[in-house]
Amino acid sequence: MSLGLKDKGIRNNLFSSFRFALSGIVRAVKKERNLKFHLIISSIIIFLGFYYQVSAVNWMMLAIAMGLVITMEMMNTAIERVVDLVTKDFHPLAKEAKDIAAGAVLVAAVVSVVIGLIIFLPKIVDSLF
């Protein structure tokens, strides 16, 4: 059965949305120093995960933690862009929006560090003594 024009349109839109999302990821990684930093830390975490042969459940926890920080950093960047688009002047609400968004990244980062320590600290201590 062939697809109708409407169905083809929906498929094209889905493909375009995916392409725009990918280009957003690439642009954010190229422009945002903090995001590069999170990616480097994530690479180190993945290396440690293989090195210490962590369990499937631990991999899931690490994946959620890394994904959470990267997602929050990208949302923070998006909020910064929108605030800068709305005003270049000092505005208390602009400050509040940016600071709250930055706070969300900090919360995610702290939670991720705690998860990382719970998983890796006993393994690192074990391998040392």
Ligand X SMILES: Nc1ncnc2c1ncn2[C@@H]1O[C@H](COP(=O)(O)OP(=O)(O)OP(=O)(O)O)[C@@H](O)[C@H]1O
| Number of other residues whose CB lies within 10 A of the CB of residue 2 | 5
CB closer to ligand X out of 7 and 99 = 99
> C-beta of 44: minimal distance to ligand X in Å?
21
Contact between 95 and ligand X per CB under 6 A: yes
Please indicate if the annotation marks 96 as binding a ligand: no
Q: Which amino acid is it at 66?
A: M
- Give yes or no for residue 29 binding ligand X (CB under 6 A): no
CB of 61 to ligand X, least distance (A): 26
Q: Mask: binding to ligand X, 63-92, rule CB under 6 A, as x and -? A: -----------------x------x--xx-
Which positions touch ligand X (CB under 6 A)?
34, 80, 87, 90-91, 94-95, 98-99, 102
Instruction: List residues forming the annotated binding site for substrate.
Output: 73
